[in-house]
Amino acid sequence: MSQKKVGNHFYLSTFSQGTWWVKLSYILMGTANFASRQIVKGFLFLGAEAAWLFFIY
């Protein structure tokens, strides 16, 4: 991406212009990595999110 990070505008434009995998990744970490065939990285993000949720609750 060639956009500069300027407040929330960067994240909102990424969300609005992204595929449904990217939009799902805003809720469930790692799904965009699975779509990009980065399976190991996707499982690492998913595991980190699961560990964080387990720690919090």
| pLDDT score recorded for residue 5 | 60
pLDDT tens column, 8-18: 777 788 888 88
**Residue 25 region by backbone torsions, left for phi larger than 0, else alpha for psi between -120 and 50, else beta:** alpha
Task: Calculate mean pLDDT across residues 16-24.
Answer: 86
Percent of the chain surpassing pLDDT 70: 86
Q: Which string of DSSP letters, residue by residue, matches 5-56? A: --TTHHHHHHHHHS-HHHHHHTTSTTHHHHHTT-HHHHHHHHHHHHHHHHHH
Handedness of CA 28, 34, 36, 41 (dihedral sign): positive
User: Please, what is the average pLDDT of the chain?
Assistant: 85
Q: What is the pTM assigned to this prediction?
A: 0.67
